[in-house]
Amino acid sequence: MIRIYNTLSQDKEDFKPLEPGKVRMYVCGMTVYDYCHLGHARVLIAFDVITRYLRHRGFDVTYVRNITDIDDKILIRANENGEPFTALTERMIAAMHEDEEKLGVVRPSHEPRATEFIQEIIDLIQILIDKGYAYPADNGDVYYAVSEFKDYGKLSKKKLEDLVAGARVDIAEAKRSPADFALWKGAKPGEVSWPSPWGDGRPGWHIECSAMSGGSLGHTFDIHGGGPDLMFPHHENEIAQSEAAHGCTYVNYWMHAGAVRVNKEKMSKSLGNFFTIREILEEYPAEVVRYFLVSSHYRSQVDYSKDNLEEAGRALTKLYHALRGVEVADDAPETEHDRHFHKLMDDDFNTAGAIMVLHAVASDINLHRREGRVVEAAQSAAVLKRLGGILGLLQQDPEDYFKAAPGKDGGLTAEAIEDLINQRNQARKDRNFAEADRIRDTLAAQGVILDDSREGTSWRRG
């Protein structure tokens, strides 16, 4: 039985999908006005691992992750760039797909875009107005009347009184209550807009997710995920919209990833410590970034720092070392390691524990090799690749991993390195160790580390 921590109950619960063997999952995706940053990577990878594991456990997973391709930030940025907003969003969507691919994130089953769901959004708003949960204001906006929804605050554990008391006075006084939020935003002159019963305008942020999730997965579905800062108000508002409109439970399991910090500080643009995925990938291999993120639990806060990334790199290198030069069996029977791995992952996707198992399997491989047990080594290698694959790790050819470390390329080509290694091995054969060591030092200065073994000398960048 898989157990999942549910933000709604603030507790781990047995996972029982609506339909046995099937999982319907929705995750809030990107607003595509800029490149994806590390926080996005965290959510992307967390739910990628969750999807992979559920599929590994035999579930048929429908994974929907939306794209917000119309909102204020997009319009502002497009305006600054002097380009149509669609040119901006298309470019950022393409960049996002590139980033995901590098990080080994499997594409979702569907990626609905807000602009493709305008009619559904309008229909949903109309239902909310008809049922008395929403009202058109005289400024062309339509607002959700939060006080009409009795369960408001059940996800984020906030009380409406506190929210209203603590709210800033909104300049848009068209709202009946400061806690009300926009479902539809009336267009200003010259702005991109769609026609609606309330005049030309565009959807508010929260309504698009209710429309896209309901439209893709049904009015009730199993898992809804997203970043930690989406819990309030975004997810709270989604619940208010969907449950008021459809009269049924919106989502059974709410999952939220932990925050990413940078050098123990909140990651923010004002602090200048905001990293995009592509910036990070210039310095670290994508798989190292992935290992770093997967090596702590998805709900815990992680701290991005040079030291932490380098440590992740060393740990991953250790695993690839076990795989290097070893034959991998086509298949291997289920082992104690598989069972341990499942036990940990069944318990709210404990990837940190699961990585411990990977290291245990790597130790087995190393031991088998040392003792000359070729068949056992190949079997263990198959287990390591199998379990690593569930986490999206260790699927590269080890040689590729070792020989291509971004940011650490000393400028030497593989050919040049191998040439020097041949010279060194000749010197060793001649017992000219001074010369051999000089060559090794030269390579080390270029970031190339040599590993001698019975089979010969291999190298890596590190």
- Restricted to residues 195-254, the positions that interact with RNA (CB under 7 A) are 205, 226-234
Q: Which is nearer to RNA, 18 or 34 (CB)?
A: 34
Q: Which is nearer to RNA, 43 or 378 (CB)?
A: 43
- Binding to RNA (CB under 7 A) within 125-164 occurs at 156-159, 162-163
Contact 188, 218 (CB under 8 A): no
Least distance CB 432 / RNA (angstroms): 9
Q: Which is nearer to RNA, 220 or 350 (CB)?
A: 350
Q: Which of 346, 376, 437, 447 binds RNA (CB under 7 A)?
A: 437
- Binding to RNA (CB under 7 A) within 68-127 occurs at 73
Q: Which of 77, 102, 278, 318 binds RNA (CB under 7 A)?
A: 318
Pairing mode, if any, of strands 260-262 and 302-304?
A: parallel
Q: Which of 9, 301, 426, 442 binds RNA (CB under 7 A)?
A: 301
Q: Which of 42, 52, 65, 185 binds RNA (CB under 7 A)?
A: 42
Verify binding: residue 441, RNA, rule CB under 7 A: no
Least distance CB 37 / RNA (angstroms): 7
Q: Which is nearer to RNA, 355 or 382 (CB)?
A: 355
The count of residues interacting with RNA (CB under 7 A) is: 77
Verify binding: residue 28, RNA, rule CB under 7 A: yes
Least distance CB 153 / RNA (angstroms): 8
Select the span of 14-22, 244-252, 302-310, 387-395 touching RNA (CB under 7 A): 302-310
Q: Which is nearer to RNA, 22 or 107 (CB)?
A: 107
Q: Which of 6, 8, 25, 40 binds RNA (CB under 7 A)?
A: 40
Verify binding: residue 291, RNA, rule CB under 7 A: no
Instruction: Write the binding mask 344 to 363 for RNA: x where contact by CB under 7 A, - elsewhere.
Output: x--xx-x-xx-xx--xx-xx
Task: Please give the C-alpha separations between residue 311 and each of 24, 175, 289, 316, in angstroms, as whole numbers.
Answer: 36, 51, 11, 9
Least distance CB 222 / RNA (angstroms): 19
Contact 181, 233 (CB under 8 A): yes
Q: Which is nearer to RNA, 126 or 462 (CB)?
A: 462
Q: Which of 139, 263, 433, 442 binds RNA (CB under 7 A)?
A: 433
Q: Which is nearer to RNA, 55 or 359 (CB)?
A: 359
- Binding to RNA (CB under 7 A) within 162-191 occurs at 162-163, 166-168
Contact 126, 173 (CB under 8 A): no
Q: Which is nearer to RNA, 13 or 311 (CB)?
A: 311
Least distance CB 208 / RNA (angstroms): 10
Instruction: Write the binding mask 364 to 403 for RNA: x where contact by CB under 7 A, - elsewhere.
Output: --xx-xx---------------------------------
